[in-house]
Structure 1
Amino acid sequence: MDSKEIQLLIAEYAPDAAAIGLRAAGALAMILIGYWVAKFVSGIIKTAMTKRGIDATLTSFIGKLVFFILFALGAIPALAHAGIQTASVIAALGAAGLAVGLALQGSLANFAAGVLLIAFRPCKVGDWVDAGGCSGTVESISLFSTILLTGDYKRIVIPNSKVMSDAITNYSAMPRRRIDLIVGISYDADMRLAKEILQNLVEAEPRILKDPAPTIAVAELGDSSVNLVCRPWVATGDYWPTRWKLVEDLKNAFDTAGIGIPYPQMDVHFHKES
């Protein structure tokens, strides 16, 4: 190929090459600008969420999600500016997203429930809860599962969708709890003395709060016993030790005072036929 032919080729294709180069440079500039804008906005959102005390896991995820969405919104026009047909790309991404969503329905449900758990905080690490049909101390809450430690130190991994689909009872959320004791005494026992013993035991226990004041009253007249109710308040962390101590002291005090606690029994009578 001689120099004349080369000059003809350059003259023929140079304008198109220049236009392609300009479009490519413009597309690259748009991608870079979109990248920095997405990074800047996601950084602002992450900073705001951190200042509001939102969980670090959720903050990181939301920041990354915002970044990728904004970057994609900037990259698609850049590809179109470069001369690439974006309609087929968008259609392919949509189809792929639909297929992935159908394949991961359970995982996506767990993920959505995890976001709600982290955002609304019905429980936190260290709380004792009933959730998903299980009881235990919350060890961790991730985007897909919640881990509980039972009283005998078993680890239970519960999918977040199961946690959010049922009631969550949080025993550690409030600073105080009420102990509910129902004590049955026999109908022959001295009811006033029994109430006095309960009052003395409650006043002698230092872990029982003075405010709100404990409630000691006759709850009902049962089939075989007079049922007294004793409802003192304690700090949440003192609930079980105080309850166990109160029950033990109550039994000893009733035994000393001669107050009987009835128990189910059956009398069988035999009649001899003549």
Structure 2
Amino acid sequence: MYLDTKNVADYAATIIKVFIDYSPKLISAFLILFVGLYTIRIINRLIRRIMVKRELDPTLTKFLADILLWVLRVLLFVTFISKLGIETSSFVAILGAMGLAIGLSLQGSLSNFAGGMLIIVFKPFKVGHTIDAQGVFGTVSEIQIFVTKVITANNQTVFIPNGILSNGNIINYSLEKIRRADLTFAISYDSDIKKAKDLITSVLNENPKVLQSPPPEVFVKNLTDSAIQLAVRPWANSEDFGDVFTDTLENCKTAFDTAGIVIQPYVKEMSSATN
């Protein structure tokens, strides 16, 4: 077999020429790649530290940092292959179509994800707070990316989607340090109003969990056809609210029985039908 040394020399010269001509692009592309990867690592660490300082939920912090990391890596890869002289328009179009398809298929999940971010950033409630939302009353156990975990008083676990939770009304019973209990006692018209009010006031003053500032209120709320309604409004620290509520009911009932104050039972008024 005869080997043409002239052709080999021509091929070698062509390869060397192509390599010399292409080497600046190759060097600059890999330089961009290595510098970009190092910069992305620094940016990712910085973003994580910022989110930790803002006391964002650890799950959300990791999730957002990972998303940012991969977005920057994709942009860096597109820049890298573009610098090599490879056409990127088709590649970008494919990425766009994939993103649109994923977005359409995960509309509900994306809504819940956005709701979770709103909850964690604006903090209408935190873990440990007692809330009433979407017909669920309980203590927040965990704020996840897509759902919020709430433990009810009877120890049931309820997962509420963050999308509807962030767009609905939320009553937070733990946000303020003190709460007021709104109670109503209905006594008969034969009872002494002043005596009843004095008894209630005494009960409230004897309870150490009832705050004196703001002072508790006792007043006539309404005069119905069947009873005199007395409004009782004691204040308590949020953690003592349940005890103050139940203790006030029990102790006032006991005081009324001892003093002969009659609690008027609820009377449902029936309208007579006419023929």
Q: By the TM > 0.5 criterion, same fold?
A: yes
* Residue range with higher mean Cα deviation, 2-11 or 184-193: 2-11
Task: Flag the 1:6–1:265 CA change in 2: closer, same or farther, 3 A.
Answer: closer
Once the two structures are superposed, residues 86-110 of structure 1 have per-residue CA deviations (whole angstroms, 9 ceiling, x without a partner) of 1111000000000000011111111
- The match for 1:158 among 149, 157, 160 is 160
- The match for 1:226 among 225, 228, 244 is 228
* Residue range with higher mean Cα deviation, 248-257 or 96-105: 248-257
Task: Flag the 1:266–1:28 CA change in 2: closer, same or farther, 3 A.
Answer: closer
* Residue range with higher mean Cα deviation, 84-93 or 63-72: 63-72
Supply the AA of the counterpart residue of 1:59. Answer: T
Residue of structure 1 equivalent to 2:151 = 149
Once the two structures are superposed, residues 89-146 of structure 1 have per-residue CA deviations (whole angstroms, 9 ceiling, x without a partner) of 1000000000000011111111111111111111111111112221111110011111
Whole-angstrom CA distance in 1 between matches of 2:36 and 2:243:
60
Q: Report the secondary structure of 1:212's partner residue.
A: coil
Whole-angstrom CA distance in 1 between matches of 2:54 and 2:67:
19
Q: Report the secondary structure of 2:190's partner residue.
A: coil
- The match for 1:88 among 90, 115, 125 is 90
Whole-angstrom CA distance in 2 between matches of 1:227 and 1:5:
112
What's the TM-score once normalised by structure 1's chain length?
0.92
Q: Report the secondary structure of 1:241's partner residue.
A: helix
Please report the RMSD computed on the Cα atoms of aligned residues, expressed in angstroms. 1.9
1:168 aligned to 2:166? no
Give 1:267 shift: 11
Residue of structure 2 equivalent to 1:138 = 140
What's the TM-score once normalised by structure 2's chain length?
0.91
1:113 aligned to 2:150? no
Once the two structures are superposed, residues 67-91 of structure 1 have per-residue CA deviations (whole angstroms, 9 ceiling, x without a partner) of 3333333332221111111111100
Residue of structure 2 equivalent to 1:77 = 79
Whole-angstrom CA distance in 2 between matches of 1:118 and 1:265:
47
Once the two structures are superposed, residues 220-258 of structure 1 have per-residue CA deviations (whole angstroms, 9 ceiling, x without a partner) of 111211111110101111111221111111111111111
Give 1:266 shift: 8.0
Task: Flag the 1:172–1:265 CA change in 2: closer, same or farther, 3 A.
Answer: closer
* Residue range with higher mean Cα deviation, 12-21 or 227-236: 12-21
Residue of structure 2 equivalent to 1:51 = 53
- The match for 1:212 among 214, 218, 223 is 214
- The match for 1:30 among 14, 29, 32 is 32
Residue of structure 2 equivalent to 1:248 = 250
Whole-angstrom CA distance in 2 between matches of 1:264 and 1:108:
50
Supply the AA of the counterpart residue of 1:255. Answer: D
In structure 1, the gaps of 5 or more residues are 269-274
In structure 2, the gaps of 5 or more residues are 271-275
Query: Contact 2:183 / 2:231 at 8 angstroms: preserved in 1?
Result: yes
Q: Report the secondary structure of 2:229's partner residue.
A: strand
Query: Contact 2:57 / 2:143 at 8 angstroms: preserved in 1?
Result: no
Supply the AA of the counterpart residue of 1:70. Answer: L
Give 1:158 shift: 1.4
Whole-angstrom CA distance in 2 between matches of 1:68 and 1:265:
67
Whole-angstrom CA distance in 1 between matches of 2:164 and 2:23:
55
Query: Contact 1:46 / 1:63 at 8 angstroms: preserved in 2?
Result: yes
* Residue range with higher mean Cα deviation, 11-20 or 239-248: 11-20
Whole-angstrom CA distance in 1 between matches of 2:193 and 2:39:
77
In the alignment of these two chains, the number of paired residues is 268
Give 1:32 shift: 1.3
Q: Report the secondary structure of 1:197's partner residue.
A: helix
- The match for 2:4 among 2, 5, 22 is 2
Whole-angstrom CA distance in 2 between matches of 1:265 and 1:110:
47
- The match for 2:103 among 93, 101, 104 is 101
Whole-angstrom CA distance in 2 between matches of 1:36 and 1:181:
64
Q: Report the secondary structure of 2:85's partner residue.
A: coil
Residue of structure 1 equivalent to 2:259 = 257
Query: Contact 2:226 / 2:267 at 8 angstroms: preserved in 1?
Result: no
